[in-house]
Amino acid sequence: MSVGETSVEAERDAVIAALVPVIDGIAATFGPVCEVVLHDYRRPEQSVVAIAGSVTGRAVGGAMSEIGMRIVARGEEAADELNYVTRTRTGQTLKSSTMVLRDSTGAVFGALCVNLDVTTLTEAHTVIGALTGIGRPPAELPVTTFGNDIDSVVDVILDDHHLRQDRAWAGLDRAARLELFRGLDERGVFAVRRSVEQVAGRLGISRASAYSYLSQARAATEAPPDPTDPTDSTDSTDSSGGHA
C-alpha cells in the first residue's frame, strides 16, 4: 500500500471513529422507534461497525442491506437517499435516510443510516382516514431486506427475482437470463465477494457461466447486441441450464 493509500485509509478510519458517538445522540433524540447504523463498506460482509437503537434486528458485525449493495454498485455515482419509505420482511414500515460517506478523493466508503419505525403511525393514519372518509388506500411499499448474514440478503434478492420471473433458469431464454443478471447487478448483488459463486449455485450453473452472463449483461447495458447476430457463446456452453 502506497503512502497516499495509507493516508486515505487513515482518513476513512478517522471519519468512522468520529461518527460512532454521533449515532447515539441521533437515536436518543428520536427515541425507541429509531435505529442509527454506521456502515463501513470496505468490509461488506460485516459492514455494521456501530449501531444505536433496534429496529431491523441487526448488530455490530452485521452485513450491509440491499440498499448498501446498491450504493456500492453505483460507486462514485452513489448519492444520499433521503426520507424513503420501505417495508421489512416482517411487516414493519420504515422511514429511512441513507447518507453516503466519502473520503477526500470522492470515493464512497461507508454510510450513515437512520431508520424510523413508523408502523404504528401509518396504521393510525389509515384508521383516521377511514373514519373521516378522506383516506386513500395505502400504496404498496417496496420491501427491503436487512440481515446480519450477507448470504441471506443475497438469497432473498435472488428469490425475489425468481418470483417475478416465475420460471426456472432452464425455462429462461437468453434475453431473460441476461435481464436476470442485469437486475441482480443493478441491485448490487455482485458488489459482494463470492456472490457470483452463490448465484451460480442457486441457479444450478457453473461459476464460469455465471461470470459469462454477468459480463455479457454489463456489455449489453453499454452497447445492446445486434439482434441479427447468430453468435451466442453463453447458450452454447450452458444450454441445458445445468453445470457447464
Q: CA 33 to CA 88: how far, in whole Å?
A: 14
Number of residues assigned to the chain? 244
pLDDT at 222: 65
Enclosing H/E stretch for 91: none
Are residues 101 and 47 in contact, defined by beta-carbon separation less than 8 angstroms? no
What single letter denotes the amino acid at residue 166?
D
Q: State pLDDT tens for residues 77-90.
A: 899 999 998 888 77
Both ends of the chain: CA-CA distance in Å? Answer: 38
| Least confident among 128-137, 148-157, 207-216 | 128-137
Average per-residue pLDDT in the chain? 81
For 24, the 3-state DSSP assignment is helix
Q: Pinpoint the alpha helices (H) of 133-224.
A: 150-165, 174-186, 195-203, 207-222
Residue indicated by cell numbers 448465484: 199
DSSP state of 140: P
Are residues 33 and 117 in contact, defined by beta-carbon separation less than 8 angstroms? yes
Q: State pLDDT tens for residues 114-131.
A: 999 999 887 777 777 777
- Residues 178, 181, 184, 188, CA torsion sign: negative
pLDDT at 233: 46
Q: Mean pLDDT over residues 70-80, rounded?
A: 88
Q: CA-CA distances (angstroms) from residue 133 to 114, 120, 138, 237?
A: 33, 20, 14, 60
Q: CA 227 to CA 88: how far, in whole Å?
A: 40
Are residues 50 and 113 in contact, defined by beta-carbon separation less than 8 angstroms? no
pLDDT at 1: 66
| Least confident among 15-24, 160-169, 224-233 | 224-233
142 or 35, which is more confident? 35
